[in-house]
Amino acid sequence: MITGGAGFLGSHLSERLLNEGNDVLCVDNFYSGTKDNVSHLVGNPHFELMRHDVTFPLYVEVDEIYNLACPASPIHYQRDPVQTTKTSVHGAINMLGLAKRTKARIFQASTSEVYGDPEVHPQEESYWGRVNPIGIRSCYDEGKRCAETLFFDYYRQHKVEIKVVRIFNTYGPRMHPNDGRVVSNFIVQALRGEDITIYGDGSQTRSFCYVDDLIEGFVRLMASPAGVTGPINIGNPNEFTIKELAEAVLAKVGGKSRLVFNPLPSDDPKQRRPDVTLAKNTLDWQPRVQLDEGLDKTIHYFRNFLKA
């Protein structure tokens, strides 16, 4: 079962697991995911799509749970911050309860946002983070931190078999075109010939992981021995400034878009780069698709998407 299975990441994971011969139950309330992301899978006899909100209990029989349900972009998670926190916290409680009852292995899609605006660079899993608990991003950051707490308490108290991954900035086909994430923003603006909007002076850094690499990390962690719980960083350690990303997109798309600089939102991290040593050593995983190739694939997707 994949919660948030009709989202950007969930749809790619659904595809991967079906291709490996699994039966996949895709659960989504379509708050930020869309049926279009999984419409090509609906005719597959091994795929089932269920509308459900994880803040309510779910009674199904499964042997593996990937808990991806939660809006992950600031535009979506700040639209209803109370519901965002409930999705992370109540959703974790309900899915962990299901895992406990069915004795299923359960995977939590956590986030690099648990590190907040970090004082340690690059970020390794042992770093506890620097997060504002009452800011406009806190509904997501603290919700995900609390979900990790719940996962490890269920592991210690109820012996639930858990896997926790911390996702760093991921991009690729099926990103929501209006989710406010920097890669999709820049590509859509460039393709439309609009000004490319940079928040701050563009010197803040991010590390961009192509979606196929991330899904490979998910599958390897889920298949790892029971004692490998995580949390494990999955991301691409190659670091770029936001301005460098904008210039790379503009060079690939062409056109007459200009770079426009706006004030930086509050609590926006200045640096983000994963230390992926643990993933390399534990899962024999490392990213293979670099930004140049990944941007080409993502631009191709959005070019076709905007024509449709």
Instruction: Enumerate residues 6+ apart whose C-beta is below 8 A from 102.
Output: 61, 62, 63
d(CA 187, CA 193): 10
Sign of CA dihedral 262, 267, 272, 276: negative
Q: Looking at this protein, which amino acid is placed at residue 108? A: Q
Q: Of 140, 154, 171, 210, which one is the catalytic site residue?
A: 140
∠ CA 272-196-270, rounded to 5°: 20
Q: Give yes or no for a contact between 249 and 190, defined as CB atoms under 8 angstroms apart.
A: yes
d(CA 301, CA 37): 12
Query: Do β-strands 205-207 and 239-241 pair in parallel, antiparallel, or remain unpaired?
Result: antiparallel
Task: Give catalytic status of residue 140 as yes or no.
Answer: yes
- Picking from 204, 88, 178, the residue whose alpha carbon sits closest to that of residue 137 is 88
Distance spanning both ends of the chain, measured CA to CA: 31
Query: Do β-strands 24-28 and 2-3 pair in parallel, antiparallel, or remain unpaired?
Result: parallel
Q: Does residue 7 sit in helix, strand or coil? A: coil
Helical H runs in 111-241? 138-158, 182-191, 211-222
Q: Looking at this protein, which amino acid is placed at residue 127? A: Y
d(CA 239, CA 172): 17
Active site residues: 140
